[in-house]
Structure 1
């Protein structure tokens, strides 16, 4: 399949474009607001065509699918524009700025007959899929998930409130998605957030999610601490723990440690490129005419929970869903 990529964002240049090629597909065009920047990156990555506007790339009839790693506030707009040209879209997470916009974008793409997939690459790693299998055997009582790193550049787009920045939208969405993956939809949330960098978005956030029968999840995200990424599930009959849970190195083995009753296991997984697996699933969904695992419906549900978490942090009170 032939891909066009709008933006020279680092995640595209360093991870997704190489993954598209590793998966056996082509990146035939790259667009940037700076045509010289597009040309420089295209030369480095052996991409034949460049454009100085995103619209110019979308008008390229050779392209079959578009990868959209633009800032959060631009995801829905340029996803819909790509759909107008009949392109299938792999859009970075989160799909939109809120659930209403995600729902609208989903309907828009459906009406134009194109596949839309949210790029939660960790969902396609064999370890995540194995963790879901094991979790089904557990009587889960709680989950803790955290994704944090130190963001030092005050000009980073992830700190821009006009571009839907903030730690929740950037990395917290992984922990929200993981809570939904293992526990489903909560009935109430309570969140606290702080803007420690005085930038107009939250840079530290913690949320408690309450489920039926007293099950809870505690999720956190941040831009001001040393890097950490993990989830741990506690159950009456065991537990599961995954270090480097969301962005493990494609060159290293990964581990999943768990206990079921009296059996303690450490499973190892061979090095794999979860971005390439994500691309494979996207293309297979297009070819088979089936919704992706991380489709727009799933994205909308994640954003419904994100909306409630933001509201709770703003109002400083629990929010029922």
Structure 2
């Protein structure tokens, strides 16, 4: 059955809708233990040490998740985040673990998935693939030879998604509050995926067309938008092949958020100053952004399988 949207694709991709979504639309509320109980469950949050990822991790703990895995590139930063998250919970039943994950390296992605499969007795019931990057200048990953935005936001993210799926299918849940919940995998997306011009769409082969560092027309926003569009397209197609009783796969956007360090590569520049002012005027804080993510990762049902979500709603 086709999803019923409250907006057309054309309006969804418009700048006026973006402003309405940010400023006017009602947001999905922050979850409380009265809304959901994740007791016994394990959750993974990539990029869980800062910004939206950190706040997503904090909110997961607040609704009772028993084991939380922060998948981070910097283990030192991850440990600092874990200590801050645990706070008064240090003597309680909840645990936060920090696992190494560098989306810039194939080996790190496969090693992380292998560790999930070999060391966890129960499956992760909530997986939030949040880690991402936006490069201020053309950047080629020295390990893979691919454009850094494409490598991180698309290639490594969907590789991890594919590697985790059979683990989620094979392992039992340790949930105690809900009998055999269907695992959720949420690939954090962006409204900017709808804005991609995607000039590379006709290139054959496709991926090398993103890897020319000297491209005269390279654009920071366009490259990020294309990387998010590719991930969204992959997620949509994958959801047609993965039954929704195996895993509910969706793609929420946290919206424009300030205080996330997402645009850190522009720090100290005039562009960075302009972006900072814009984010403060039209963005919301990470608490609000993360609640939009968890509306998909925790509350959304099978109707969200294969769909983009904004403010807790299915959107084209």
TM-score, normalised relative to structure 1: 0.43
Choose between structure 1 and 2 for higher RCO, CA contacts under 8 A separated by at least 6 residues: 2
Say which one has the larger Rg: 1
Question: Greater share of strand residues, 1 or 2?
Answer: 1
Question: In proportion to residue count, which structure has more helix?
Answer: 2
